[in-house]
Amino acid sequence: MYEVIVSAAPDLIKATVSLFIIVDPLGNLPILVSLTENMDREERKRTFQVATATGIILLLFFALLGEQILILFRISLQSFMIAGGILLLLIAMRMLLTGSWNGGKVSQESVGVVPIAIPLLVGPGAITTTILNIRLFGVAVTVASVLIVFFIVWLTLRFIDQIHSLLGRSGSLIISRVMALI
């Protein structure tokens, strides 16, 4: 058993780092703070729990069935990546032009699912990375990497106020830009 764990460790590190960079909870910090700024502490906690649970469920679903779904609909991974990129571009443009991703019509109950879990944490990039990780590293390593990344996401969201205070607005924006470059 020890040999299996030791031999899988490099793959687990690669899969976890690649997924963490794409999910990017630290880079999304300014957006997450602004989406939840009007919530009290309990609402924010509940929202982030929903976002974390939704993210885990979605990525595990795509880890196990994503490739088959793409094959079923005859969608190549590259086409999925392009379509997802266009979707994120449209959302970003809308946010730049209107200051809101959906015209300000987000309900407090659903903000944990949309837009926090989908598309901020689990967007086309995270889904694609998960499917690629399945191909490269297998199911066990990929599932473990999803669980590790979303444990880190949960910790980040759990301590979002402290992290945001520590980094400040400028620090959060710098991390956001650096992570975008990676």
Question: What are the structural domain ranges in the chain?
Answer: 2-181
Q: Which pTM value belongs to this model?
A: 0.86
> What pLDDT score does 92 carry?
72
Q: What is the pLDDT of residue 182?
A: 59
pLDDT in tens, 64-104: 999 999 999 999 988 988 988 888 788 777 766 776 555 55
CA distance readout (Å), 43 to 22, 48, 58, 158 = 26, 9, 22, 12
Whether the Cβ atoms of residue 146 and residue 130 lie closer than 8 Å to each other = yes
User: Identity (one letter) of the amino acid at 159?
Assistant: F
What pLDDT, on a 0 to 100 scale, did the predictor assign at position 108? Answer: 64
**Mean pLDDT for the chain?**
88
Tell me the average pLDDT across 11-36: 93
